[in-house]
């Protein structure tokens, strides 16, 4: 299984009044991890879109374990949990680099859809090379 690691350092504007990272930023970081995963393992989002494939989110989840704070060096670990011809599900673990404390874990699930009409597509049939490449990461 391929697990991509992306380093991120939270900025001051990502904190809330209590000095911790505001909860919605985790979903942005999941996207950062997913984008980096695809870039390193298969192809960029831009390349996929140019092929005619989009990945709209159909479900998202985040469990907060410990608060991250401004300037904590964080590791986003991203992996594919499930892949079907029509859907893909990514798992994320965010840890603080200095002590490997689990900050959050979650997932995003996406449907493969056409850039032309936004309708779901069967990636295995329409783009078998891309599907096979993604399948190798599991």
pTM above 0.85, yes or no: yes
DSSP H or E run through 123 = helix 123-126
Q: Phi and psi for 3 in degrees, rounded to 5?
A: -120, 115
pLDDT by residue, tens only, the chain of 138 residues: 899 999 999 998 888 887 789 889 999 999 999 999 999 987 888 999 999 999 999 999 999 999 999 889 999 999 999 999 999 999 999 999 999 999 999 999 999 999 888 899 999 999 999 999 999 887
Contacts of 106 (CB under 8 A, 6+ apart): 26, 30, 60, 61, 62, 63, 91, 92
Query: Hey, which residues are catalytic here?
Result: 16
Domains identified in the chain and CATH numbers: 4-135 (3.10.129.10)
Sheet holding 102-111, edge to edge: 4-8, 74-83, 87-96, 102-111, 57-64
């Amino acid at each position: 299984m391929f697990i991509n690691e992306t380093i991120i350092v939270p900025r001051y504007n990502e904190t809330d009044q209590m000095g911790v990272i505001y909860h919605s930023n985790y979903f942005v970081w999941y996207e950062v991890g997913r984008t980096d995963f695809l870039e390193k393992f298969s192809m960029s989002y831009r390349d996929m879109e140019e092929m005619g494939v989009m990945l709209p989110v159909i479900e998202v989840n985040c469990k907060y374990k410990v608060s991250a704070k401004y300037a904590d060096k964080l590791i986003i670990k991203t992996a594919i949990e499930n892949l079907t011809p029509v859907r893909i599900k990514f798992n994320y673990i965010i840890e603080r680099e200095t002590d490997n404390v689990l900050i959050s874990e979650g997932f995003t699930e996406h449907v493969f859809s056409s850039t032309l009409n936004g309708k779901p597509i069967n990636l295995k049939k329409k783009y078998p090379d891309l599907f096979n490449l993604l399948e190798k990461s599991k």
